[in-house]
Amino acid sequence: MRTAKRLGIVGCMLMEDEMVYALAKDDDIGEIVFVDNEERLSLYDKLGIIMPQVKMRIIKDEELGNLPPPESFSLLIWMKDMGLHESPEKLKNDMTETLGRMRGVCDLTLLFYGLCGNAFKDVDELSRAAGNPVVILTDALGETVDDCIAAVVGGREQYRELVTKNLGVYFMTPMWAKHWREMAVKTRVVPDGNNNELMKIVFEASGYKKVFKIETETGDGDYEKRVTEFAGIFGLAKETLRCDLRVIDITYGKAKECLSSIPEHVHFGTAAMEVQSNAGKLDLQTYNWGNVFPANRDR
């Protein structure tokens, strides 16, 4: 799809590697624009190495209204602080505000999030805030995945089966392995993420017995080392869980298909549409308007 449309992407830092996975395979991308903040730094560096042929630039959020129409297929990426997961309400309110600020700039917006405590259960509401269709991480059955762990283990059913059969498991992805201490502080689990003794008390109270190292096509050379260290700190058994990123493939493909359905003469927030999610199908209809920790406990 080589067309002058702009896809907006709003993503959590914890989904950074999955974003790299999806974008690195897309030869249509001509430009990537990042909204400047601390959360975008790592993703910017990774994509700069993997996609040197793609033009990348950074803008301030107050400059969004001055962003000109794209000359080729373009992405606008706004990365978000993982600490927003402190509460579903906080996460939802920030997303609604973010989509409102992006309104009129993108033709479609893809969220690298799951339901996240039902913060994003109403996709139609998000679409109204964005002024364009919103696509969220969805599995092969058309269900919005629960969170970043469900997104990398295959979908909601696979996640339910895992947590039912494996009580007391802490699920680890590469970004979780890198940021678990920071996440514990930002979501107010503990005041000091480097206080191992306090963290041990929290983990023991939560009933953790083992850690699953989720293996997909992502992660750096320190992933194994970080998970092993984590397991050692808390006295957890370590197992490897091999998964795939079908949810990422399905959702990114759906976003591009949906984007290509918008007529060439319609751009940004001028397309009125109703986005419906039904068994994994997103339909553009009319054109006419200008868990804190990814862990399983007894449930």
Instruction: Name which residue leads in pLDDT, 279 or 188.
Output: 188
**Residue 35: its H or E element:** strand 31-35
Is the pLDDT at 295 greater than 50, yes or no? Answer: no
Q: Which of 123, 13, 10, 151 has its CA nearest to residue 75?
A: 10
- Give pLDDT, residue 287: 27
Is the pLDDT at 270 greater than 70, yes or no? Answer: no
Band (pLDDT 50/70/90 cuts) for residue 70 is very high
- Give pLDDT, residue 225: 96
* Distance (Å, whole) CA 7 – CA 213: 32
For the chain, give every domain's residue range. 6-145+246-283, 155-242
CA 93 to chain centre: 16
The predicted-structure confidence for 48-62, as pLDDT tens digits, reads as follows 999 999 999 999 999
Is the pLDDT at 297 greater than 70, yes or no? Answer: no
Q: Which of 226, 234, 238, 181 has its CA nearest to residue 206?
A: 234
| Widest distance between CA atoms in the chain | 60
- Give pLDDT, residue 187: 86
Q: Lowest mean pLDDT: which of 18-27, 29-38, 88-97, 260-269?
A: 260-269
Band (pLDDT 50/70/90 cuts) for residue 274 is very low
- Give pLDDT, residue 132: 87
Q: Decide: helix, strand or coil at residue 168.
A: coil
* Distance (Å, whole) CA 74 – CA 31: 5
**Residue 193: its H or E element:** none
Give the CATH number of domain 6-145+246-283; options: 3.40.35, 2.60.120, 1.10.1740, 1.10.10. 3.40.35
Q: Exposed, middle or buried, 232 (CB in 10 Å: 0-12/13-18/19+)?
A: exposed
Q: Give 133's contacts (C-beta < 8 A, 6+ positions apart).
A: 108, 109, 127, 258, 273, 275, 282, 284
Instruction: Name which residue leads in pLDDT, 49 or 220.
Output: 49
* Distance (Å, whole) CA 100 – CA 252: 22
Is the pLDDT at 175 greater than 70, yes or no? Answer: yes
Is the pLDDT at 147 greater than 50, yes or no? Answer: yes
Q: Decide: helix, strand or coil at residue 14.
A: helix
What is the chain's percent helix, strand, coil content, to nearest 5?
Answer: 40, 20, 40
Instruction: Name which residue leads in pLDDT, 132 or 246.
Output: 246
- Give pLDDT, residue 267: 57
- Give pLDDT, residue 262: 82
Q: Is the dihedral of CA 171, 176, 180, 182 positive or negative?
A: negative
* Distance (Å, whole) CA 96 – CA 140: 26
* Distance (Å, whole) CA 33 – CA 207: 43
- Give pLDDT, residue 50: 95
DSSP 237: E
Query: For the residues 56-79, what does the mean pLDDT come to?
Result: 95
Backbone φ and ψ for 139, nearest 5 degrees, come out as -90, -175
CB-based contact 181:194 (threshold 8 Å): yes
In which residue are the tokens 């799809």 written? 1
Q: What is the average pLDDT value for the chain, to the nearest integer?
A: 86
The predicted-structure confidence for 192-212, as pLDDT tens digits, reads as follows 989 999 999 988 898 999 999
Is the pLDDT at 80 greater than 80, yes or no? Answer: yes
What are 55's strand-pairing partners?
Answer: 31
* Distance (Å, whole) CA 258 – CA 280: 12
Band (pLDDT 50/70/90 cuts) for residue 76 is very high
Query: Angle of helix 16-24 relative to helix 41-50, nearest 10 degrees?
Result: 30
- Give pLDDT, residue 161: 94
- Give pLDDT, residue 265: 62
The predicted-structure confidence for 222-233, as pLDDT tens digits, reads as follows 999 999 999 999
Query: For the residues 155-171, what does the mean pLDDT come to?
Result: 93
